[in-house]
Structures are given as structure tokens and as C-alpha cells.
Amino acid sequence: MHALIACGEAAFAVALADSLFLSIDPDAARSQVLLFLAVSLAPFAVVAPFIGPIIDRIPGGRRLTVLVVSLLRCLTVLMMISRLESLTLFALAFVSLVLARTYSVSKTALVPSLVEDGDELVAANARLGLLSGLTGIAAAVPAVLLQLVDARATLMMSAVMFGLAGAFALKLPRKVATVQTPIEPIETVELHSSAIRQISALMMVLRGIIGFLFFHVAFWLRDELAGTAWFGLALGLSSLATMIANLVAPVLRRTMSEWAMMIFVYLVVGLVGVFAGVVGGITAGIVLIAVTNGMGSIGRLSFESFVQRNAPDANRARALVRFETRNQLAWVGFGLCAVLLTLPGAVGFGFVGAIGILGTIYSFYIVYSATRRGDATKG
């Protein structure tokens, strides 16, 4: 099921870039995308805190959410096929993006309920990331080829993948993703510790950078020759980087602490971002977005491992859903910045590099301060 979702996402992203970003006037594109990004932010900011607890009380709630979201995405994409020349395309596109974020949150809640041992959580998430990378690469090639023929064919491919995913969602177990128990005081204390707050903030910024680059690169490439093909290549390489990252992350975790992994992630993003900002050009931009997506996967796995180790009494699914919702808000919020600022390509890359360097310094400071206090949780 997850592989089908990944295929649908890859095809949708290619169609989105060409139909939404590359085929209309730049100023009109930015104003419309800015409007609907703001609209897509509202459901997460207002509704997300209430959706999780409601779904958790319904037997099979997360399973039902994955099923409904998959079918709604199929329907939304089908509606887009006949509206490529209409302004309603924007509304449908961002409804689909909101549904994508909802699926991500639901998937995060489902994973802990599908593994028998909590220690398998990092490995399970790594396998899902690896699967996403493989299927993303496999789907990007036919999606780009279909896009060269007709954008409607790419959207049809995406709709079919989402429809099949909905059918396979019926095979998920009916067990509830989170236990129907009130939040215990010890859970609140653990999840609000300074260590978890700090690393969750770093994870939010990292996810935000990924959202920023997605929209920044999409608009930037629209002014380049063969922009759709370049964006398809960027998506394919990002999937490859994610795949490699999910292979490497479990190995890194066995050799270093979660905080060391987060420092590594921010340092790599910072250095590559600065390099891309100085060099500029399509190649540097594509390399940066691929590397950032890969580092995002390593950062996510290190963060989840940290929560697992330092909040053992917390309801893991409930906690991860809460953090994932915040991360998705960051993705949309930074995406808004990319659309609003209209930065030149190299300046946007330099901005990402600067955040990476600042994040590295901040992480070092946290670990240094914890070491002086003798706080072992910073590792």
C-alpha cells in the first residue's frame, strides 16, 4: 500500500510542477499558490489537534483514515484532469496536498501498532523510507514520459495508484493505533522535557527546509529550459537520497547518539547549501534538494529514536502524531515563505545553507551544555 502511495505522490508531483508552476504566468502562479498554501495551512492549525483523539477512539480509526484519504486523493486527482485550464486546479491541488499530509500523520501513528517490539520502530520506519525511495525513482521516469505526452496521463497514473492504495488499505489490521487511556502525568513530563523540546524544534526546522526547497526549486526551474524534466530529475534523485539515507541511518544509530546524528544532518545541509549558494546553477540546486531530503530522513529516524529512548512511558503513537503534525505545519509554513519571498535560486540555496550552519552551532551548544551538566540524555 505504501509503495502505491509513493508512486502516486511521484506522479502527482511531476504533474503539479508542470501544470501548476510551469504553464502559467509567474506572478499569477505565485499569488495563487500563496493563497492556497495559506488555505491548506488552516486545517492543520485549527483541526489537527482534534482529529487525532477522535480517530483514536474509533476501532480501526487510523486504518479508516488511510482508506478514506487514499480514495479522496484519487477522486481529487481525477477532478484535476478536466480542470487543467481552470483556477479550481489550484484548490484541488492543495486539497490533495493537505490529504497527503493527513496520510503522513496517520502512517506515523500506524507504524508503532504494527511492530511487536518498540526497538524495531527505527528499523520499520527505515524500511518504509527505503520503499518510498525505490518506488519514487521507479515512478518518476514513467511519470515524466507521460507528462511529455499529456499532463492528463500523468494525473491518471497518480489517480490509479491512489485508488489501488485505498483498496489495499482494507487489509490493514483493525487494531486501534493508540491505547484509549488518558494522558498520564509522567507522559506529560517526559514529552515536555527540555531535551525533547530542543530536538523536536530542530526536526521541525529540518522539515520546514524541505518544504521551502520544494516550492523554491519548483518556481525557479519554471524559468529554465526543460523545467519539467529537471524537476522530475530532482524528485528522482531525492527519492534515491532518501533510500540511501534509510539504509545508512540504522548503521549510524549503532555508532553514534541521536544528537550526534542531528549535528551531522545539519552540518551536511549547511555545507551543501552554502556550496550551492556560491556555485549556483541547476546541478547545484538539484544536488541540494536531494541531499536535504536524504538528511531529513536521517534526522527523522534519529528524532524518533530519541523520543523512544527518553520518553519510554509515553504513548508512542500519540506522541509521534503530535510531533508529525507540527512538522507538517512547518513544511507548509516554510513553503509559504518560498512562494512569498520569490528569492533567486542561489539566494534560496544560501538561505538553506545558513539555516544548516546555525542549526549545527545550536546543536553543538546543546550537547556541550548538557555535557557540562552531566546530562546523559543528550548522549
User: Taking the model in full, what pTM does it have?
Assistant: 0.74
pLDDT tens column, 155-167: 888 888 888 887 8
* pLDDT at residue 172 in the model: 66
Question: C-alpha angle with apex 197: 192 to 201, nearest 5 degrees?
Answer: 150
CB 39 within 8 A of CB 94: yes
Scanning 256-344, the segments in alpha helix (DSSP H) are 258-279, 282-310, 316-341
Q: Is the pLDDT of residue 355 over 90?
A: yes
pLDDT tens column, 219-254: 787 766 656 678 778 877 887 888 888 888 888 888
Least confident of 158-172, 177-191, 200-214, 255-269: 177-191
Beta strands in 90-229 (DSSP E): none
What is the rounded (10 degree) CA torsion for 244, 246, 247, 253?
Answer: 130
Interval 313-323 mean pLDDT: 67
* pLDDT at residue 347 in the model: 92
Q: Which domains, ranges and CATH numbers included, belong to the chain? A: 2-175+186-378 (1.20.1250.20)
CB 349 within 8 A of CB 228: no
Q: Kindly report the length of the chain.
A: 379
In degrees and rounded to multiples of 5, residue 61 shows phi and psi of: -60, -45
**Residue 197, exposed/middle/buried by CB under 10 A (0-12, 13-18, 19+)?**
exposed
**Which is nearest to 38 in space by CA: 330, 336, 327?**
336
Rounded Cα distance between 356 and 268, Å, is 8
* pLDDT at residue 264 in the model: 95
Write out the three cell numbers for 308.
523512544
**Residue 217, exposed/middle/buried by CB under 10 A (0-12, 13-18, 19+)?**
buried
Rounded Cα distance between 167 and 4, Å, is 10
> Which of residues 108 and 66 earns the better pLDDT score?
66
Grade residue 112 by pLDDT with cuts at 50, 70 and 90: low
**Which is nearest to 245 in space by CA: 139, 138, 131, 350?**
131
Interval 328-344 mean pLDDT: 82
CB 106 within 8 A of CB 62: yes
SS3 181: coil
What are the Cα distances from residue 51, in Å, to 4, 55, 99, 174, 192?
25, 6, 13, 18, 21
Residues 6+ apart with CB under 8 A from 344: 220
Q: Is the pLDDT of residue 125 over 90?
A: no
What are the Cα distances from residue 140, in Å, to 93, 131, 186, 290?
18, 14, 46, 14
Which amino acid, residue 364?
F
Q: What is the mean pLDDT of the chain?
A: 75
* pLDDT at residue 276 in the model: 95
CB 129 within 8 A of CB 248: no
